[in-house]
Amino acid sequence: MIHIGLSNLLEDTYAEAFKGIFIRILVTRWIQIDEKDRISQYIEKDPLRLAAYKATATPSVVMNRVEGGIEGWIDEKDTPDGNEGVILQFWKSYDKKKDLENQINDFFREVSIRIRQDILSVPFTRIFDWNKEDSILEDVALIDTEEFVGRCGGGYEYFSEEYGREVINIPLMMGYDFKIDRYLRCGIGVSGGNLWYFCDSLKSGWDIALSSIEAIKDVEGVITPFYVCPSGSMPANYPPIGPPTNYPYCPTLKDKCKSNVPDGVRSIPEIVINGITEEAVKEAMKKAIISTNDKKGLLKISAGNYDGKLGDYKIYLKDLI
């Protein structure tokens, strides 16, 4: 049951979200590793964790490139090849004024770099398409991975049929073939759903943000590409290196600029959510909000928007609960 005080903490505002192009893949690790290596603090001892974190490490849609995130970890009983796996999503902003085919081509060219450098280059990984046909709101394209990934075999790559899929096999020096589904479905989803937590200390900000992340993990089809985002960003006046921090909301600048930080607030972590449908993003935001029920140090819950001038969606916080 939601404490009545939680409703009072919600600002009467909305998160402004955007249409985005995405693909959703499953990466599996087809060898068994020792349990001590699977849970080691040194993630390089586990090829699956290493590939997942390398491939999704740098969110960069704001630089007009590609951002990624980990959706969830999958037991071997639920994967096509019977091996432990991880679901990854990759996203790029969608511009309705530009040719969609060119956008998708540019998008996958970027994603292919991550596949080649961050997944193929990690031992014992393989890639399945994981965009289930009944889970995509708009299935806009079928991407052929041959050109940008499949030709890494120096002409010795070959096709096969496995698990009801057409697969590209790329021979590697280590003594096995890297395998990737030849076709990856590409969809249009919702990116940039967000929540801002106004907290009384760094510790409460961190704890509250983490509880939200844990709650969001229960929602299928969403990622938090920045995990806990400490900076926020301004929607305008980008320097060449990208958007600056959202300085009116930086507690340390309260006495140095025109500040929007209320008295008593010492930390404002942001959670950014991308999802394959608007409903998935809303469900994730709802669970994140509910997870903060009765959390000490939470003074207000808000969201980032651009006065409704840029986004495709307005997700009102009070409508969620």
Tell me phi and psi for residue 301, to 5 degrees. -120, 125
The answer to whether residues 216 and 167 belong to one domain is no
User: What is the span of the domain harbouring residue 233?
Assistant: 4-16+189-320
Is the pLDDT at 1 greater than 50? The verdict is no
The answer to whether residues 33 and 176 belong to one domain is yes
The answer to whether residues 174 and 211 belong to one domain is no
The answer to whether residues 180 and 195 belong to one domain is no
Structural domain count, the chain: 2
Last residue of a domain, one of 162, 187, 212: 187
The answer to whether residues 56 and 194 belong to one domain is no
Residue 232 has a pLDDT of 83
Last residue of a domain, one of 171, 187, 203: 187
Residues 233-246: tens digit of each pLDDT: 776 666 677 778 89
Is the pLDDT at 179 greater than 50? The verdict is yes
Q: How many angstroms separate the CA atoms of 282 and 106, rounded?
A: 29
The domain spanning residue 313 has which CATH number? 3.30.70.520
Residues 29-42: tens digit of each pLDDT: 999 999 999 999 99
Q: Mean pLDDT across the stretch 258-283?
A: 96
The answer to whether residues 62 and 141 belong to one domain is yes
Last residue of a domain, one of 170, 187, 204: 187
What's the Cα-to-Cα distance from 235 to each of 62, 161, 311, 314, rounded to whole Å? Answer: 9, 47, 11, 16
The answer to whether residues 194 and 316 belong to one domain is yes
The answer to whether residues 154 and 83 belong to one domain is yes
pLDDT band at 307 (very low <50, low <70, confident <90, very high): confident
Q: How many angstroms separate the CA atoms of 104 and 124, rounded?
A: 28
Residue 11 has a pLDDT of 95
The answer to whether residues 92 and 32 belong to one domain is yes
The answer to whether residues 47 and 83 belong to one domain is yes
The answer to whether residues 180 and 193 belong to one domain is no
> Global pTM?
0.93
Cβ–Cβ under 8 Å, residues 296 and 201 = no
